[in-house]
Amino acid sequence: MKITRHAAAFGLLAVSTLVLSACGSDRNAPASANPQLENVQVECGTKPLSAEGSSAQKNAMDVFARDYSIKCPGQQVNYTKSGSGKGVSSFNAGLVDFGGSDSPLDAEGGEVDKAAERCQGNPAWNIPMVFGPVAMAYNIPGVDNLNLNADTIAKIYQGQITNWNDPAIQALNPDAQLPDMNIVPFFRSEESGTSDNFQKYLSTATNGAWKGEGKQFQPGPGVGQGKQGTDQVSQAVKATEGSITYAEWSYPKNLGLDIAKLDSGAGPVELNSETVGNAIEGAKIEGQGNDLRVDLDSVYGNKSPGVYPLVLNTYEIVCSKGYDPETAKSVKAFLTVAANANPQQLEEAGYVPLPEEFKKKVMNSVNAISS
């Protein structure tokens, strides 16, 4: 039986309410809704937190915020999904305690310097807390098992492959009965962090054959149809035979859409928590010290067996130092809870948990935050 996001959210809210009632005044009470948190020690602050930014991590934030209110009774974090750019600008202006962004702070654009000024002269850190795979969702009658690679996807969106029984796609699916049907590509019409990361993946995995870049998706001339938001592109695929799109995992999952496997050269790889976790484990860090900026080439170019490389990671942008003491405690407590989120609940929301070795790096940064 498929559980809808709304039903799941209602169930989680009910669990949270019950646990909050049982916690009383124990400020480090175990969160029975998430057994993984029971042995995690946090020092809860007294400052309610505010944050803003990436819409791609909003559903993960809902999971984190619920667990945080259980682990630190009476405390809360209010997260506004307004987009990565707004998250960075609001953080740098001191309007929120931390920002959520699909991309790390941009030094050339002045974001790094502005963040340091906001943090009382101390550097801000990019902490990669949320990883959400991007699914290639499709609607091909009679085909529920499809293999694609970056080259075929790029050629579809460049208008070089226009039919589902094209020899290049058939070569990846030798046993499939692919129909003689036009391909209808959908893409995000507005600026989107998902589009930005999708284009970075295509460029990296095709060795530069894909030329588009940035948050505005750049298909070939006259190719495909743009739709506003992940929900609309996903709904368009559900309603249109022969269609395909890229979308955050939770949306096609909730709609029951078929999702293609990706072949990076070592065989087709299904999208699941394990294969995405393998991609995260293989990620290299290009930031210095506790600034954990991820080298996306090491993710998108990973050709190892069992790796699903099309992953969007979002950052929590925080002050390394410069908060008042209670805010520092609250930020550290919240991020500790987030790093130990319930794997099953994260997957239901369309994300994957931090692999253990990667989580150690994240927690070293979180523990180093000071007032």
Q: Which are the contacts of 78, defined by CB distance < 8 A and separation ≥ 6?
A: 48, 49, 50, 51
What tokens appear for 201 in the block?
Answer: 């993946």
Residue 9 pLDDT: 40
How many whole angstroms separate alpha carbon 299 and alpha carbon 215?
19
Backbone torsion region of residue 224, taken as left when φ is above 0, otherwise alpha when ψ lies between -120 and 50, otherwise beta: left
Residue 14 forms beta bridges with which residues?
Answer: none
How many whole angstroms separate alpha carbon 127 and alpha carbon 102?
11
Tens digits of residue pLDDT in 46-66: 999 999 999 889 999 999 999
Is 84 labeled as ligand-binding?
yes
CB 120 within 8 A of CB 322: yes
| Structural domains of the chain, ranges and CATH numbers in brackets | 5-131+320-368 (3.40.190.10), 133-275 (3.40.190.10)
21: pLDDT strictly greater than 50: no
342: pLDDT strictly greater than 80: yes
3-state secondary structure of 182: strand
User: How many residues in the chain?
Assistant: 371
How many whole angstroms separate alpha carbon 279 and alpha carbon 98?
26
Is 56 labeled as ligand-binding?
yes
Tens digits of residue pLDDT in 160-205: 999 999 999 999 999 999 999 999 999 999 888 889 899 999 999 9
12: pLDDT strictly greater than 50: no
Over range 254-283, report the average pLDDT: 96
Residue 33 pLDDT: 62
Tokens 């129909």 belong to which residue? Answer: 179
How many whole angstroms separate alpha carbon 34 and alpha carbon 55?
24
Residue 314 forms beta bridges with which residues?
Answer: 130
294: pLDDT strictly greater than 50: yes
Query: What is the percent of the chain where pLDDT is above 70?
Result: 91
Residue 169 pLDDT: 98
Query: What is the percent of the chain where pLDDT is above 90?
Result: 81
Is 90 labeled as ligand-binding?
no
**Can you state the angle between helices 5-23 and 58-71, rounded to 10 degrees?**
20
Is 193 labeled as ligand-binding?
yes
What tokens appear for 170 in the block?
Answer: 């058939």
Following DSSP, what letter does each residue of 293-341 receive, concatenated?
Answer: -EEHHHHHT---TT----EEEEEEEEESB-S-HHHHHHHHHHHHHHHT-
How many whole angstroms separate alpha carbon 50 and alpha carbon 79?
6
| 116 closest CA partner among 92, 95, 87, 100 | 92
Residue 35 pLDDT: 78
Over range 335-347, report the average pLDDT: 94
Tokens 């490389």 belong to which residue? Answer: 309
How many whole angstroms separate alpha carbon 77 and alpha carbon 341?
15
Residue 55 pLDDT: 84
Q: Quickly state the pLDDT bin for 38 (edges 50, 70, 90).
A: confident
31: pLDDT strictly greater than 60: no
Tens digits of residue pLDDT in 103-152: 899 999 899 999 999 999 999 999 999 999 999 999 999 999 999 999 99
Angle at 173 (CA atoms; ends 172, 175), nearest 5 degrees: 145
Q: Which are the contacts of 247, defined by CB distance < 8 A and separation ≥ 6?
A: 134, 135, 137, 194, 230, 233, 234, 237
- β-pair type (77-81, 258-259): unpaired
| Alpha carbon distance, N-terminus to C-terminus of the chain | 48
Q: Quickly state the pLDDT bin for 27 (edges 50, 70, 90).
A: very low
CB 139 within 8 A of CB 105: no
Tens digits of residue pLDDT in 206-226: 999 999 998 899 999 999 999
Q: Quickly state the pLDDT bin for 229 (edges 50, 70, 90).
A: confident
CB 5 within 8 A of CB 248: no
| 93 closest CA partner among 327, 317, 329 | 317
Sign of the Cα torsion 286, 288, 290, 291 reads negative
Is 54 labeled as ligand-binding?
yes
How many whole angstroms separate alpha carbon 146 and alpha carbon 66?
37
Task: Look at 12-21, 48-57, 249-258, 276-285 and tell me which has the smallest mean pLDDT.
Answer: 12-21
22: pLDDT strictly greater than 60: no
Residue 102 pLDDT: 87
Is 33 labeled as ligand-binding?
no
What tokens appear for 91 in the block?
Answer: 């953080």
3-state secondary structure of 186: strand
